[in-house]
Structure 1
Amino acid sequence: MMSRTYQATGINLQGRAFGEADRLLTILTAEYGLIRAIAPGARKYKSSLRGRSELFVVNNLLIVAGKSLDKVVQAETIQSYPKLSQNLAKLTVSQYLCELVLAIALSEQPQRELYELICSHLARIEVLDENQYILPYLCQAIFHFLTIAGLVPQVHNCLLTGKALIRDNCLGFSFEAGGIIDLAALTETINPPKIDSKLTLQELQLLQCLGKTDFTPQENLASELAWINLDRLLRRYTQYHLGKTFRSSALVEGLSPLEF
C-alpha cells in the first residue's frame, strides 16, 4: 500500500477539466501502474503544472494520496513529444495508442514494461519524416501491446492444425480463434471458427515481421494497401478481445492516405 506521499515517474495518457481550474489526469506510472490524480490549478495560465499536465508529457511526480483521488503536488518534466501534436496522423495514432494502453494497464502494481513501451513507440512515431508512412509503426505498436496483454495473435502456425503456415495456401484470420488459419483445414473441423478476414501472401509476411525489434517497413504502393488492411484487422481484433470501442479508432479510419 502506498504511503500518504509518494514519488513516481509517469506519462500523461488522458486529461480533462476538473473544477474551476484543475485538471484530472490519468497517468501510467512505472512504479504503480495507472493512477488518477488532480493537478491543482493546472488550467491557470501561469501555473507551473500547466505544461506538465499536457498529453504525452513524462514527469517525475510527487503525489499525495487521497481517499478517492490523488493530488499532484510537484512535477518535473523529463520527456515530452511536442512534434506529435504538430501532425494530424501522428497525433491521431498516438491518441489511439494511449487509449489502448489505458485499456490494458493495471493499477496499484508496477507497469514498467508497459510504461517503457509506450514511451518508446511515441518517441519512434515523433521522429518519423513527414513523408514516411505511419501505419506500419502503428501496426507494430499494437502488436507489441497485445503481446504484453497476452492477446497477441498466432501468425506463424495454423490454429487448427498447429502446423507451420504454407504461404501458397489460402489463409484466413479469426478473431475468435486468435490468429491465422489455413482455410483448407476448415473442412476437416467440427464447428470451425468464424473467419473474419482473408489474408494475402504479402499481408502474412508483414504480420510475421511485427514481432521483430529490427523491423523496418518497405514503402511502396502495394505494401501501403496491405498496411491499410492490416491496420484495420489489428484494430478490430483488439476491439474484439478487449470488448471496448476506442474513440480514436474512428479517427485513424478517417485519415486519408495522403495524411499518412
Structure 2
Amino acid sequence: MKGAILLELRVKGLIVRETLLGETDKLLSVLTSEYGRIPVMAKGARSIRSRYMTSTQLMCYSELTIYKRGDRFWLREALPVETFYAIRLELDLYALVQYMFDVCCEVCPERHPDGAEDMLRLMLNTLYAVMTSKKTPQLIKAAFELKAAILSGFAPDLAQCADCGSPISENAETTLDLVGGILRCRQCSDRLAKTEMIFAKMSEKKSTAIRIVSPAVLSAMRYIENSSIKRFLSFNLADEFTKEFSSTCEAYICSQIERSFTTLEFWHEIQSRYSSEF
C-alpha cells in the first residue's frame, strides 16, 4: 500500500549535517556503521516542545529509531548517547568540527555503507580528542585529514621514492607529490624540479603541487598511516613542526578530493583572529 511503513530500524548514528526545513523540521544526515550516511527527516525536531530536540542536534551521537516510508527515512524516537557539549562552547573548536563533518560528507556518499564503520569510529575518536584537548586542534585536524584520506582510498605511498625505488630513510628530507600521493628522494626531486622549470618556461604553466616534507613530519605521517583508528593520535611531534604537518595534510586531502571548503576557510579566519589577539 502506498505510504505504508516498509522498515523500522534502531541504530546509533552521528549527526554530521542538518538542513532546516519550515519552522520546526530538520533533514538530518546521520553517519551509521551499518547503513553508511543516511538522510533522516525529523518532523518538529526544532520545536522547544520536541522530546528529541537535543538528540537531533548537529554533532550529537544518538540512538535513533527510524522507519522507512517510500524512499525516505523518518525519525520516530531519539536518545542522546554523547552530545560533545564542551565543543559547542568554543568557537574555534566548533568551527573545526564543522569542517571535519564537511570532509566526512565528501568522502562518505549517502547510502553507501562501505567503509562507514571505520569513518564513524574515526569521527567519534576525533571528537573525543577535540573535546578533551589531548592534542592541539592543529595536530588533531592534520591527523584526521590524513587518516580520513587513507580510509577513503587516498593513501599516499610513504615507503619509497616513486621514481628510483630507493627506500626513504627516517632522517632524509623528501618531497610529497600532493596529486600523485607519492614521495621522491631529494635527488629525484631536484632532477624533476629542473625538468619542470624548463617545461614551465616553455608552456607558461605552473609546476605540479609538491611539498617538502621534513623527517619529523614524514615520521608522523607514517605512524598515522600504519596505526589503528583507536591509536591514530598516539604520536608526538615537536611544536616547531606542527605548522608544516598541518599545512601538508590539509593540502594533501584537498588535492586528493579536488576541492576546498568554506568551513575550512572560516576556521583559518578564526585562527588568524585568535593569533592577532594573543
Q: Tell me the TM-score normalised to structure 2 length.
A: 0.80
Instruction: Report the equivalent of 1:241.
Output: 256
Q: Deviations over 1:157-215 (max 9, x none)?
A: 222233221355552111122032113124389x8883522223333333333334262
Q: Is the 8 Å Cα contact of residues 24 and 36 (structure 1) preserved in structure 2? A: yes
Instruction: Report the equivalent of 1:196.
Output: 210
| CA 1:5–1:167: 2 relative to 1, 3 Å | closer
Q: Is the 8 Å Cα contact of residues 63 and 78 (structure 2) preserved in structure 1? A: yes
Instruction: Report the equivalent of 2:247.
Output: 232
SS of structure 2 residue aligned to 1:4:
strand
Q: C-alpha displacement at 1:11, in angstroms?
A: 0.5
| CA 1:112–1:208: 2 relative to 1, 3 Å | closer
- Over the matched positions of the two proteins, sequence identity in percent amounts to 15
Q: C-alpha displacement at 1:89, in angstroms?
A: 2.7
Instruction: Report the equivalent of 2:202.
Output: none
Instruction: Report the equivalent of 2:117.
Output: 112
What letter corresponds to residue 113 of structure 1 in structure 2? D
Q: C-alpha displacement at 1:33, in angstroms?
A: 0.4
Q: C-alpha displacement at 1:3, in angstroms?
A: 4.4
| Residues 114-193 of structure 1 aligned to structure 2 (within 5 Å) | 114-128=119-133, 133-166=136-169, 169-186=172-189, 187=191
| CA 1:83–1:165: 2 relative to 1, 3 Å | same
- 1:20 equivalent in alignment to 2:23: yes
Structure whose residues are more often helix by fraction = 2
Q: C-alpha displacement at 1:108, in angstroms?
A: 4.5
- 1:96 equivalent in alignment to 2:110: no
Instruction: Report the equivalent of 1:210.
Output: 224
Q: Is the 8 Å Cα contact of residues 172 and 195 (structure 1) preserved in structure 2? A: no
**Most deviating of 2-11 and 232-241:** 2-11
Gaps of 5+ in 2: 197-206
Q: Deviations over 1:49-97 (max 9, x none)?
A: 2111111111111112133432111111112211111122321222222
> 2 CA distance for matches of 1:234 and 1:74?
39
Gaps of 5+ in 1: none
Q: Is the 8 Å Cα contact of residues 26 and 37 (structure 1) preserved in structure 2? A: yes
| CA 1:188–1:44: 2 relative to 1, 3 Å | closer
SS of structure 2 residue aligned to 1:75:
strand
Q: Is the 8 Å Cα contact of residues 99 and 264 (structure 2) preserved in structure 1? A: yes
CA RMSD of aligned residues (A): 2.8
**Most deviating of 61-70 and 96-105:** 61-70
Q: C-alpha displacement at 1:115, in angstroms?
A: 1.2
Q: Is the 8 Å Cα contact of residues 136 and 217 (structure 1) preserved in structure 2? A: no
> 1 CA distance for matches of 2:192 and 2:121?
44
Q: C-alpha displacement at 1:216, in angstroms?
A: 3.3
| CA 1:53–1:210: 2 relative to 1, 3 Å | same
> 2 CA distance for matches of 1:167 and 1:7?
48
Q: Choose which of 56, 62, 70 in structure 2 pairs with 1:67.
A: 70
